[in-house]
Chain A
């Protein structure tokens, strides 16, 4: 099933430039309903207060890193079904394995291209 272009997407990154870049790429891919959070804690609050269909998260963030956000999402009965795409500079194998074990749906290593992100999103929603 292709991704619903109207679903609400949460972009989580402590860098404002990265949030803007990801939102631009998602817009280019046809998505228009987006919100953003600066860290995992703020993301969790937004996820619990609204209905989101997809989360794109960084790994390295203050307050609550992406991996903890992922674990919190998977541990929450209401949120655990939401697909999570990690977009991160953490390019170590150990990080990827940790994310997979925590239940990540896919993983994009920075720097990345719009094509890579599109490919990963397609893989997530066309399963």
Chain B
């Protein structure tokens, strides 16, 4: 019979866990299971702490995409407005050119030279006017980037929603109570939509207060 002392003497150095295993395997198993249970419990608590912010973020994202779409629309409308004004100027110039051409038929000498000088002066605006129009192509680039951002945000929203559904009960409206920076900014944006007014409305109110 080989004594315990002999085994220990001939074996390589052992860890304390090995000693426990050797002495009472059931206790070791329970300790390991207990450790695992505490870890799972802690993990679930940690995840549940994230659940509310995730819900909040998931609910804020559609608002953010709406604002991005509004931004795209505003830049589009502004761009059309500027183009419309430039086109009006161009139409006026076309009419003036035609009138100058007609006038030139009836004058000679210095008067004809003066008409030609006016024509040349007007012609100098060709390039700046078309440069204004082409500079407005920034709007197309803005719109394309906004579209990409909206796609990314929608994808993130979808993934967040999946996480919320998997890791915790999703409570619709939970995010509304969040007081984070993003939530505050979204509130301000939403409020500005309701409170902003155009000049016509402002003039109407001013008129009611005696301003003319």
Binding site for B on A (CB under 8 A): 13, 15-18, 20-21, 24-25, 28, 60, 89, 110-114
Contact = CB atoms under 8 A, between A and B. Distances in A.
Nearest to B127: A114
Contacts of B133: 21, 24-25, 114
A89 B79 CA distance: 18
Nearest to B139: A17
B101 interface: no
Given A89-B140, A110-B141, A111-B137, A17 B79 contact: yes
Nearest to A58: B140
B130 A18 contact: no
A21 B208 CA distance: 41
Contacts, number: 58
B139 A15 contact: yes
Contacts of A114: 127, 130-131, 133-134
B140 to A, nearest CB: 5
B131 A24 contact: no
6 nearest CB pairs, A to B: A17-B79, A18-B140, A114-B130, A111-B137, A24-B133, A28-B130
Nearest to B77: A17
A111 B79 contact: no
